[in-house]
């Protein structure tokens, strides 16, 4: 697309989901990153003992308003990412889950927890690796964020049964009340102070797009289990888990 492209064609391109996703990614990068820097420096300055009270209040406002703007930018990026066109390809569930467990290992250790893998599954499915990765990453992160201070455990399991692969992500975290469980599908439902509340909403949407099923079981004070069931396809998945 250039200035020479006919107007009608340019307008059509503006409506393309990939264009919208690109704009959001650019905003995330060009606005989100500088804001994060601003916030970081304000936090650094806050440690300076020589500031007057008035100046300290000003710094608090810089941080508070930066946080607000950062979270709006993050929401926008996430929603637009979901809007991207689906790219279907064969992928290995085992490879996908394994790479996510490795990615989050350090994070779970920081919370004194552990990720346990039990992958009884060599099946491939047909899907969008970036989206499925986003879904599972979000769910495992939710588990990590819910873990108790001691002996936190996250189990990531996969098994095959009658042409379906069942992925289960279970934790011994704080769990959810029946009321919260009911609100889970609602966009922007969150109990966290700096979160979007879009993770599970998008997970339901993305799993549905993959002709799959997502179920959440939770017991307050005991733990949570999220089960994703997806149809297995006969295909070669040698290409695909690195999205």
Residues lying near ligand ADP in the complex (CB under 6 A):
138, 142-143, 146, 171, 173-176, 180, 184, 189-192, 195-201, 224
Among ligand ADP, Mg ion, none, what binds residue 146 when CB lies within 5 to 8 Å by partner kind? ligand ADP
* Residue (123 or 133) nearer to ligand ADP, CB: 133
* Residue (27 or 141) nearer to Mg ion, CB: 141
Secondary structure of residue 225 in the 3-state scheme: strand
The site string for Mg ion over 119-148 (x = CB under 5 A, - otherwise) reads: -------------------x---x------
For 204, other C-beta atoms within 10 Å of its C-beta total 15
* Residue (49 or 193) nearer to ligand ADP, CB: 193
Among ligand ADP, Mg ion, none, what binds residue 21 when CB lies within 5 to 8 Å by partner kind? none
User: Residue 7: in which H helix or E strand, if any?
Assistant: helix 7-14
How many residues touch Mg ion (CB under 5 A)?
3
Q: Least distance to Mg ion from the beta carbon of 199, Å?
A: 3
Place of tokens 């492209």: 5
- Please write down the HEC assignment for all residues of 149-218: CCCEEEEEEEEEECCEEEEEEEECCCCCCHHHHHHCCCCCCCCCCCCCCCHHHHHHHHHHHCCCEEEEEE
Among ligand ADP, Mg ion, none, what binds residue 192 when CB lies within 5 to 8 Å by partner kind? ligand ADP
User: For the chain, how far is it from start to end, CA to CA, in angstroms?
Assistant: 27
| Orientation angle between helical segments 129-146 and 93-110, nearest 10 degrees | 30
* Residue (175 or 212) nearer to ligand ADP, CB: 175
């Amino acid at each position: 697309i250039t200035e020479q492209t006919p107007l009608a064609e340019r307008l059509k391109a503006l409506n393309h989901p990939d264009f919208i996703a690109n704009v959001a990614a650019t905003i995330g990068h060009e606005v989100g990153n500088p804001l994060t820097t601003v916030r970081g420096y304000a936090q650094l300055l806050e440690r300076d003992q020589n500031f007057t009270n008035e100046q300290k209040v000003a710094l608090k406002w810089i941080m508070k308003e930066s946080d607000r703007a950062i979270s709006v930018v993050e929401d926008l990026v996430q929603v637009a990412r979901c809007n991207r066109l689906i790219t279907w390809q064969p992928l290995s569930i085992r490879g996908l889950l394994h790479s996510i467990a490795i990615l989050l290992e350090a994070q779970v250790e920081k919370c004194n927890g552990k990720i346990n893998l039990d992958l009884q599954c060599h099946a491939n499915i047909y899907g969008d690796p970036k989206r499925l990765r986003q879904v599972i990453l979000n769910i495992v992160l939710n588990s990590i964020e819910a873990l108790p201070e001691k002996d936190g455990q996250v189990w990531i399991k996969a098994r095959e049964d009658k042409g379906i692969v069942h992925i289960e992500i279970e934790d011994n975290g704080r769990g959810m009340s029946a009321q919260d469980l009911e609100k889970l599908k609602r966009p922007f439902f969150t109990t966290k102070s700096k979160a979007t509340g879009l993770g599970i909403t998008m997970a339901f949407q993305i799993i549905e797009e993959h002709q799959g099923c997502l179920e959440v079981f939770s017991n307050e004070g005991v733990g949570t289990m999220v089960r994703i069931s997806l149809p297995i396809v006969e295909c070669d998945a040698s290409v695909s888990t690195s999205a």
